[in-house]
């Protein structure tokens, strides 16, 4: 089950990353940001959208590969980091630095982390076992 939560997140990240590369203005609108007809010199919004979207494509692939290989330690690592992402993105909305629609990104991260953590707990894989740590170092 935990692998499925990672695979679904990966697929969604990949798809939304592609969407942002192909239709950056539509993704900006979906996130609640103002979409300008023309952009002035020094406005790098499209460059940022391309970079952010490409990062989402890459992250989606990483997650899908981790799910395909059932890399449980990776699944565990995602839970706290996705909760940090939830906290940061939610703070951006609460402080007014980002529009309210952007809370959806934080919610997606937070709920995804909780679902993956719950699945790991139900599978008895939430805590790393000593056999997964590899050889001891001296």
Residue 33 confidence (pLDDT): 86
User: What confidence tens digit (pLDDT) does each residue in 70-81 have?
Assistant: 999 999 999 999
Q: Across residues 34-40, what is the average pLDDT? A: 83
The pLDDT of 44-68, averaged and rounded, is: 94
* pTM recorded for the entire structure: 0.82
Give Cα separations from 138 to 128, 129, 135 (angstroms).
Answer: 20, 19, 10
Domains of the chain, residue spans? 2-32+47-127
């Amino acid at each position: 089950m935990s692998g499925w939560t990672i695979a679904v997140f990966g697929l969604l990240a990949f798809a939304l990353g592609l969407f942002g590369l192909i239709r950056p203005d539509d993704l900006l609108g979906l996130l609640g940001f103002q979409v300008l007809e023309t952009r002035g010199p020094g406005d790098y919004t499209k460059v940022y959208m391309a970079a952010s979207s490409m990062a989402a494509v890459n992250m989606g692939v990483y997650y899908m590969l981790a799910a395909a290989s059932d890399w449980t330690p990776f699944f565990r690592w995602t839970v706290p980091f996705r909760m940090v992402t939830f906290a940061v993105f939610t703070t951006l909305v609460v402080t007014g630095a980002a529009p309210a629609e952007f809370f959806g990104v934080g919610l997606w991260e937070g709920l995804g982390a909780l679902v993956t953590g719950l699945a790991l707990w139900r599978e008895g894989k939430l805590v790393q076992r000593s056999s997964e740590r590899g050889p001891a170092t001296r």
